[in-house]
Amino acid sequence: MLRRTPRRKPRSRRRWHERAITQARDCGLLGADILGSGRRLEVKIKQGAGAFVCGEETALIHSIEGQRGMPRPRPPYPVTRGLFGRPTVINNVETMANLPGLFRMGPEAFAALGTAGSKGTKVFALSGQISRTGLVEVAMGEPLRRIVEEIGGGVPEGHVFKAVQIGGPSGGCLPGPQLDIPVDYESLKTVGAMVGSGGLVVMDERACMVDVARYFMDFIQREGCGKCIPCREGTRQLLAILDSLGRGRRREEPAGALERFQGLISLERLARVIQDSSLCGLGQSARNPVLSTLRWFRAEYEAHAYDRRCPAKVCPELLLYEIEEDLCNGCTVCARKCPAEAIVGSRKSPHHIIAEKCRGCGSCLTACPSGAIKVS
């Protein structure tokens, strides 16, 4: 299971930034009279505390102004009324980093790269179950397959590709057959994903897509600003529905099963309301991790909801742990490791797991020296 509660770590990169600024000033690129042009340009670094929503442009403005990082309605857009009420242009660092190349190549040559709607190149951060991780720059419109298989070298030996999560926390998950899609703004949107931050996380057969959706939804419902109802309350409910899908019989209240079926049915309606009515991009795209997995991996959702089965064997409560009598030599290690005291048996004779007590933590599986624990 993917670990929850991502910790915020605002790492200080201030030193590098300051050095770069000093260098630029020394070269005459910053200051009152840059390159003798009579124009003035200053660069100031303002460090945030790392809240995801503070990347949204109006929240960013509030944050810089010293207010709580909460978005506000647009219009007025920042170009009309932005930082301290002044017209403001907001750009990503990568956009800025494109400028030297653009000037060097000239606009035509730059625009020749990429597709009609998405020009130039894009840097992706390849990670996950893939042979070569790291940053890669490709022309817009490259097929996703090329990035994953050729550049990244595909999933490691002995594993099977399952999905690629693209676009950061509010991006979407795409299955193998969708890998031929060109990577550009428009195409990705049609399949429920987005270019977003340029994150590319590759997953193999060991990943459970309900779990993946749950992980991202947990992140989103924590990292929103809490201002608007659909995002604040809606993502909490989306998470609760996803949580209920991973719940075993033991922790379920009588009405639980019905609730799970209803939850699955309501997921799409709720996701649409959140998208339709949220104030900022965070809420408007919060549905992607859920709807894209639901769209491409529906069978896996249904296995969770109707059969209480996690095909990838990830959701602990849905796993059935058993001891194969033939393989068990009665060493008692598993019984001592089990936190739920769910394993019984006497020394040197086969042990048994009491299914009602088992929490599915997997301690016995790692503890057993004879490989007698069977999971299904």
Partner 1 sequence: MQVTINNRPAEAREGETILELARREGHAIPTLCHMKGLLPSGACRICVVEVEGQKGLLPACSHPVQDGMVIQTHSARAVETRKTLVELLLANHPDDCLYCVRSGTCELQDLARAYGVRRRRWPAGLRHHSLDVSSPALVRDPDKCILCGKCVRACEEVMGVAAIDFTHGGSWTVIAPAYGGDLNRSPCIGCGQCIVVCPTGALRERSQLDRVCAALADPELTVVIQHAPAVSVSIAEELDLPGGQDFNPQLVAALRLLGFEYVFDTGFSADLTIMEEAAELVRRIKLGGPLPMFTSCSPGWVRWVEQARPELLPNLSTCKSPQQMMGAVIKSWFAQRKNLDPAKIFSVSVMPCTAKKAEAGRPEHAREGRADVDAVLTVRELARLIRQRGIHIQELKPEHADLPLGMRSTAGRLFGGTGGVMEAALRTAWILLTGEDSPPLRVAALHGQDGVKFATIEAGGVKLQVAVANGLRHAQTLLGEIAAGKHPELQFVEVMTCPGGCVGGGGQPIHKDGEHALERRQERINALHRIDDEGMLRRSHRNWAVNELYREFLGEPLSEKSHELLHVHRTPVLDEEDALV
Ligand X SMILES: Cc1cc2nc3c(=O)[nH]c(=O)nc-3n(C[C@H](O)[C@H](O)[C@H](O)COP(=O)(O)O)c2cc1C
Residues at the contact surface with ligand SF4, assessed by CB under 6 A: 53, 71, 224-228, 231-232, 278-280, 282-283
User: Is 95 a residue that touches ligand X (CB under 6 A)?
Assistant: yes
When the beta carbons of 34 and 229 are compared against partner 1, the nearer one is: 229
As a residue count, the chain comes to 376
When the beta carbons of 77 and 306 are compared against ligand X, the nearer one is: 77
**Is 138 within 8 Å of 147 (Cβ atoms)?**
yes
Closest separation between CB of residue 174 and partner 1, Å? Answer: 22
When the beta carbons of 71 and 289 are compared against ligand SF4, the nearer one is: 71
When the beta carbons of 173 and 220 are compared against partner 1, the nearer one is: 220
User: Is 53 a residue that touches partner 1 (CB under 8 A)?
Assistant: yes
Which one of 23, 47, 67, 92 is in contact with ligand X (CB under 6 A)?
92
**Count, residues near ligand X per rule CB under 6 A:** 12
User: Is 282 a residue that touches ligand X (CB under 6 A)?
Assistant: yes
User: Is 7 a residue that touches partner 1 (CB under 8 A)?
Assistant: no
When the beta carbons of 93 and 258 are compared against ligand X, the nearer one is: 93
When the beta carbons of 131 and 266 are compared against partner 1, the nearer one is: 266
Closest separation between CB of residue 233 and ligand SF4, Å? Answer: 9
User: Is 221 a residue that touches partner 1 (CB under 8 A)?
Assistant: yes
When the beta carbons of 14 and 348 are compared against ligand X, the nearer one is: 14
User: Is 220 a residue that touches ligand X (CB under 6 A)?
Assistant: no
When the beta carbons of 115 and 284 are compared against ligand SF4, the nearer one is: 284
From the list partner 1, ligand X, ligand SF4, none, partner contacted by residue 91 (C-beta under 5 to 8 A by kind): ligand X
HEC letters along the chain? CCCCCCCCCCCCCHHHHHHHHHHHHHCCCCECCHHHCCCCECCCCCCCCCCHHHHCHHHHHHHHCCCCCCCCCCCCCCCCCCHHHCCCCCCCHHHHHHHHHHHHHCHHHHHHCECCCCECEEEEEEEECCCCCEEEEEECCCEHHHHHHHHCCCCCCCCCEEEEEECCCCCEEEEHHHHHCECCHHHHHHCCCCCCCCEEEEEECCCCHHHHHHHHHHHHHHHCCCCCHHHHHHHHHHHHHHHHHCCCCCCCCCCHHHHHHHHHHHHHHHHHHHHHHCCCHHHHCCCHHHHHHHHHCHHHHHHHHHHCCCCCCCCHHHCCEEECCCCCCCCCHHHHHCCCCCEECCCCCCCEECCCCCCCCCHHHHHCCCCCEEEC
The end-to-end CA distance of the chain, in Å, is 16
When the beta carbons of 279 and 290 are compared against ligand SF4, the nearer one is: 279
From the list ligand SF4, ligand X, partner 1, none, partner contacted by residue 92 (C-beta under 5 to 8 A by kind): ligand X
CA angle, 339 as apex, 245 and 343 as ends, to 5°? 95
Which one of 232, 295, 352, 359 is in contact with partner 1 (CB under 8 A)?
232
Closest separation between CB of residue 68 and ligand SF4, Å? Answer: 11
Measured from each CB, the residue nearest to ligand SF4 is: 283
CA distances from 244 to 11, 34, 304, 319 (A): 35, 60, 9, 15
User: Is 262 a residue that touches ligand X (CB under 6 A)?
Assistant: no
- Other beta carbons within 10 angstroms of residue 189's beta carbon come to 13
Binding window for ligand X (CB under 6 A); candidates: 106-114, 178-186, 275-283, 323-331: 275-283
**Is 274 within 8 Å of 234 (Cβ atoms)?**
yes
d(CA 247, CA 243): 7
User: Is 236 a residue that touches partner 1 (CB under 8 A)?
Assistant: yes
Tell me which residues in 279-298 interact with partner 1 (CB under 8 A): 279, 284
Tell me which residues in 41-70 interact with ligand X (CB under 6 A): 52-53, 55-57
Measured from each CB, the residue nearest to ligand X is: 55
User: Is 209 a residue that touches ligand X (CB under 6 A)?
Assistant: no
Instruction: Provide the binding-site residues for ligand X, judged by CB under 6 A.
Output: 52-53, 55-57, 90-92, 95, 280-282
